């Protein structure tokens, strides 16, 4: 593995972990000393050949769910992972049904016969239709 590849891997991993001392930044973004050391620790592990999953698991084991930038997909966390799609699906289905009901209830669009045109309008339309 060359340096650029290591950098790339470190970046990918660090972007999914939270800087624990700075509230809402990722390890990658943070300038805090602890974050810097954590990036070093990730780097060491990457060059030792550990996989991204192993490294994440290491940090997760030390700091808990808090350090993961997104909640792991397990247990009650599924709630927020599926909720948007569920809402979209259920909402979409309900809306579809409702609109369909409205459409069937609405009498078919009346094609009203247009009132006879006066001469001026007729000429204007013709003029505008000309290429």
Partner 1 sequence: MTRTTQLMILVVLFALFSLLYQGLWGDPRHIPTVLVGTRAPVFEGPDVETGEPLSSERFKGKVILVNFWASWCQECKIEHDNLLRLHDEYKDHPEFVMLGINYQDEPPKARAYLQRHGSSFSHVRDVNGTLAIDFGVYGVPETFVIDKNGVIRHKWIGPIVDDVYANLTQNVLTPLLEG
Partner 2 sequence: MIIEIGHFSVVTALVLSALGIASSVLALKTRNVDWVRVGRMALTSIFILLFLGMASLVYSFLVRDFSVHYVAATSNSQLPLFYTIAAVWGGHEGSLLLWVFILSAFSTVAVWLHWRTQPAIMPYLIGVECLVIMGFLLLILFLSSPFDRLIPAPPDGKDLNPLLQDPAMVMHPPMLYMGYVGFSIPFSFAMAALLSGRLGEEWIKVTQRWTVFAWLCLTTGILLGGYWAYYELGWGGYWGWDPVENASFMPWLVGTAFLHSVMVQEKRKMFQVWNLFLIIVTFSLSLIGTFLVRSGVLTSVHTFATDPERGVYILLFVATIIGIAFGSLLMRANKLKSQIEMDSMVSRESVFLFNNLFFLVAAATVFLGTLYPLMIETWKGAKVTVGPPYYNAVFMPVALGLLFLMGVGPYIPWRKASPASLKKHFRVPLIVGLASTLLLLAFGVHGVFALFGAFVVGFAGAAIVIDFGKISRLYARRESVNPLKGFLSAFRSNQRRYAGLVTHVGVLVLVVGIIASTVYQTEKVVSLRVGDEFILDEYRVKLERIHEVRGKNWNAQEGVFEVYEGDALLTRLRPQKRVYDASQTPTTESAIYAKNMGHIFLTMPDVSPEGVAVARGVINPLILWVWGGGGIMGLGVLLNIFRPRK
**How far is it, in rounded angstroms, from Cα 15 to Cα 105?**
53
The reply on whether position 75 binds partner 1 by CB under 8 A is: no
Q: Which is nearer to partner 2, 109 or 120 (CB)?
A: 109
Cα separation, 83 vs 73, in Å, equals: 13
CB distance 40 to 46 below 8 Å? no
70/72 Cα distance (integer angstroms): 6
- Residue 99 binding partner per list partner 1, partner 2, none, with a CB distance cut-off of 5 to 8 Å that depends on partner kind: partner 2
Q: Does 86 bind partner 1 (CB under 8 A)?
A: no
Q: Which residues bind partner 2 (CB under 8 A)?
A: 7, 11, 15-16, 18, 22-26, 28-31, 36, 39, 64-71, 76-77, 79-81, 83-85, 87-88, 91-92, 95-96, 99-100, 102-103, 105-106, 108-109, 127-128, 131
Burial pattern 36-47, b for ≥16 Cβ within 10 A else e, equals: eebbeebbebbe
Q: Min. distance of Cβ 62 from partner 1 in angstroms?
A: 4
- Write out the two tokens for 86: 């569920």
Binding residues (CB under 8 A) for partner 1: these are 20-21, 33-34, 37-38, 40-41, 59, 61-64, 66
């Amino acid at each position: 593995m060359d340096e650029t590849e290591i950098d790339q891997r470190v970046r990918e991993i660090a972007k999914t972990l939270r800087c624990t001392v700075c509230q809402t930044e990722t390890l990658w973004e943070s300038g805090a000393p602890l974050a810097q050391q954590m990036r070093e620790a990730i780097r060491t592990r990457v060059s030792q050949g550990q996989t991204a999953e192993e490294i994440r698991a290491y940090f997760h084991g030390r700091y808990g769910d808090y350090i993961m930038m997104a909640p792991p997909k397990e247990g009650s966390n599924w709630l927020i992972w599926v909720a948007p799609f569920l809402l979209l699906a259920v909402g979409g289905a309900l809306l579809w049904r409702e609109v369909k009901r409205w459409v069937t209830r609405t009498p078919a669009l009346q094609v009203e016969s247009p009132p006879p045109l006066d001469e001026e309008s007729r000429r204007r339309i013709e003029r505008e239709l000309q290429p």
